[in-house]
């Protein structure tokens, strides 16, 4: 019995337990979507834009730990996926884009075949770690397998496969798809001994947990190590949830907070796990060098010592390294109590100061959202004032894979992130957006309505790009190109089948949230910011880049 190329792809996705794919149908992917539906093992989610679909696949991957898949058309459809793949690369997310291509007999001939993109493969290679394009039906299954296997090797990464349309229709031999597992990078005996000695010889330790801890499923091992050492745990923004933020040892996403960093400088050991040490806007973050000796653990050898020199670099899976440390440190003393007390006191003071800067209204809005969102609910953000001022740090996150934000700092991905995350995890989600970023993918409200996704969408409307407006005023004393006018997003949502309302005070916001969380499907709450007590914006210091 033969199978078409499209059927082979559908079988591969089913073999790897891909439960959902995101897609926009086209003449150059119709056979694949038809084959997926006929097989009946994978559900197709119809999005309204390929960029949004790729972001949704990214949110799906982050919330589940599974592979997220976007199926697009060749040419213009594929160019639209590039921004999503860029973000997935930045966030080390397993996102697979499958797209079409011109027939093999016309490919590369310059004959203006509809949607032909002769340089599509090298374009995709700039934002995906491995890309493949089979030229014969017998190569389709192996090309798909090669891309997916690479995505699951070492640090997670996106991949892409283009399949010429004639190969999607062509008949080929059935293929037995192999099981694909993440290779387990264990710790060598030499590194194991060196890690134990470094930890045992210190008593003022801090731990920095990055997204690699979550990717490895190593949250329990992280908490066990922190408790064994009585060591404060800081997280990166992508590492949030690796330790519950109500755990007494958790400091949170504050490593590059000057106030908290100053309390850490007396540390004699920094244990960094699964973090790239992203340096942030204008390179200021590079000034925050790990205090004391630096033990850096990462699955990607290219990351160790790249930003900050490591006294000991261990190339290993985070779960393996943390398990090894926990097993080897049988009789280790806890941290110096005075050091810990100073760090925790500073944490509490910084938290209090940040909350005060929110003003009375926005602090209550944050509390109202946290009170109603389940402990394991999805907390999604776009790049916006609300995210910078409380979403990325103050709003408590309790579990891994429940905090999702644009790692690259992009504006716009928040809504599609949350749609993909809710679909994949089956959990209730809440996303906060600014009005400027929301307009990038506002049409995905129609996707949320079509599938009745249980998602609360909070749009903080200040009539423009508030972050950039503040930066312009701070630095230049004037603003330009940042005022967008005031849209009525509640009416926009209603036009697409999503209940929505605009609120102008705290009580109305709380009431709207109650209705939103009582609704089975999506609900939009628009926060008219001009009617609320302003929050003090202090998101990016006016400084000069720091020389590395």
Element holding 526 (H helix, E strand) = strand 523-528
67-76, 78-87, 528-537, range with the lowest pLDDT:
528-537
**Predicted confidence (pLDDT) per residue in 437-467, tens digit:** 999 999 999 999 999 999 999 999 988 888 8
**Predicted confidence (pLDDT) per residue in 184-202, tens digit:** 778 989 999 999 999 999 9
CATH architecture of 358-531: 3-Layer(aba) Sandwich (3.40)
Q: Which residues contact 265 (CB under 8 A, 6 or more apart)?
A: 291
Q: What is the dihedral of CA 486, 489, 495, 501, to 10 degrees?
A: -120
Residues 263, 266, 271, 274, CA torsion sign: positive
Compute the distance between CA of residue 440 and CA of residue 453 in angstroms, rounded to an integer.
Answer: 19
pLDDT of 112 reads 74
Task: Give the strand order in the sheet containing 159-164.
Answer: 43-46, 20-23, 68-72, 95-101, 159-164, 130-132
Answer for the pair 358, 390: CB distance below 8 angstroms, yes or no.
yes
CATH of domain 3-172: 3.40.50.970
When pLDDT is cut at 50, 70 and 90, the band that residue 542 belongs to is very low
pLDDT of 466 reads 83
Q: Domain 189-349 classified CATH 3.40.50.1220?
A: yes
Given a cut of 60, whether residue 148 has pLDDT beyond it is: yes
Given a cut of 80, whether residue 166 has pLDDT beyond it is: yes
**Predicted confidence (pLDDT) per residue in 88-136, tens digit:** 999 999 999 999 998 888 888 777 777 888 899 999 999 999 999 999 9
| Token pair listed for 274 | 């699964």
Cβ-based burial of 352 (10 A; exposed 0-12, middle 13-18, buried ≥19): exposed
Closest CA to 253 of 266, 242, 265, 269: 242
**Predicted confidence (pLDDT) per residue in 264-302, tens digit:** 999 999 999 999 887 666 666 677 899 999 999 999 999
Given a cut of 80, whether residue 548 has pLDDT beyond it is: no
Q: What's the mean pLDDT when you consider all of the chain?
A: 93
Rounded to two decimals, the pTM is 0.95
The total of other beta-carbon atoms located within 10 Å of residue 302's CB is: 11
Given a cut of 80, whether residue 208 has pLDDT beyond it is: yes
| Token pair listed for 223 | 């908490």
Q: What crossing angle do the helices spanning 219-229 and 318-328 adopt, rounded to 10°?
A: 30
Residue intervals of the chain classified under CATH 3.40.50.1220 are 189-349
pLDDT of 108 reads 80
Compute the distance between CA of residue 310 and CA of residue 305 in angstroms, rounded to an integer.
Answer: 5
Residue intervals of the chain classified under CATH 3.40.50.970 are 3-172, 358-531
């Amino acid at each position: 019995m033969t199978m078409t190329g499209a059927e082979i792809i559908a079988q591969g996705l089913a073999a790897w337990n891909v439960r959902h794919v995101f897609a926009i149908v086209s003449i150059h992917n119709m056979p694949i979507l038809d084959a997926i539906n006929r097989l009946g093992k994978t559900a197709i989610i119809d999005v309204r834009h390929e960029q949004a679909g790729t972001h949704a696949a990214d949110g799906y991957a982050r919330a589940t730990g599974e592979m997220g898949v976007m199926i697009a058309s060749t040419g213009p459809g594929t160019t639209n996926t590039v921004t999503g793949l860029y973000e997935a690369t930045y966030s080390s997310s397993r996102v697979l884009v499958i797209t079409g291509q011109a027939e093999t007999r016309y490919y590369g001939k310059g004959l203006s075949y509809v949607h032909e993109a002769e340089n599509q493969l090298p374009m995709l290679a700039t934002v995906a770690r491995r890309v493949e394009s089979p030229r014969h039906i017998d190569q389709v299954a192996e090309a798909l397998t090669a891309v997916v296997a690479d995505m699951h090797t070492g640090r997670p990464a996106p991949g892409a496969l283009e399949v010429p349309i004639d190969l999607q229709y062509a008949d080929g031999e059935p293929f037995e798809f192999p099981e694909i597992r993440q290779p387990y990078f264990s710790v060598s005996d030499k590194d194991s001994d060196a890690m134990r000695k470094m930890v045992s010889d210190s008593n003022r330790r801090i731990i920095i947990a990055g997204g690699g801890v979550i990717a490895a499923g190593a949250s329990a091992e992280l908490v066990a190590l922190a408790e064994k050492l009585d060591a404060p745990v800081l997280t990166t923004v992508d590492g949030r949830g690796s330790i519950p933020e109500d755990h007494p040892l958790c400091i949170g996403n504050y490593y590059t907070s000057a106030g908290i960093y100053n309390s850490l400088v007396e540390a004699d050991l920094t244990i960094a796990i699964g973090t790239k040490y992203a340096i942030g806007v204008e390179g200021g973050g590079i000034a925050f060098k790990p205090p004391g000796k630096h033990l850096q653990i990462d699955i990607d050898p290219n990351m160790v010592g790249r930003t900050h020199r490591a006294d000991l670099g261990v190339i290993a899976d985070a779960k393996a390294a943390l398990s090894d440390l926990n097993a080897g440190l049988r009789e280790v003393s806890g941290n110096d109590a005075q050091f810990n007390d100073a760090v925790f006191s500073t944490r509490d003071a910084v938290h209090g100061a940040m909350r005060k800067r929110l003003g009375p209204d926005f602090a209550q809005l944050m509390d109202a959202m946290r009170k109603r969102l389940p402990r394991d609910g999805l907390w999604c953000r776009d790049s916006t004032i609300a995210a910078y001022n409380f979403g990325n740090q103050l709003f408590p996150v309790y579990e891994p894979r429940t905090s999702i934000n644009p790692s690259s700092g992009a504006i716009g991905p928040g809504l599609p992130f949350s749609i993909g995350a809710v679909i994949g995890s089956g959990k209730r989600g809440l996303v906060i957006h600014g009005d400027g970023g929301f307009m990038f993918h506002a049409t995905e409200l129609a996707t949320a309505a079509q599938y009745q996704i249980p998602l609360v969408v909070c749009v903080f409307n200040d009539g423009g790009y508030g972050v950039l407006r503040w930066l312009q005023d701070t630095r230049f004393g004037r603003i330009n190109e940042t005022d967008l006018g005031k849209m009525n997003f509640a009416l926009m949502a209603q036009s697409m089948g999503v209940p929505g309302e605009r609120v102008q005070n705290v009580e109305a916001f709380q009431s709207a949230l109650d209705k939103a969380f009582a609704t089975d499907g999506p609900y939009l709450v628009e926060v008219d910011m001009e009617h609320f007590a302003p929050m003090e914006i202090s998101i990016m210091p006016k400084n000069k880049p720091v020389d590395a």
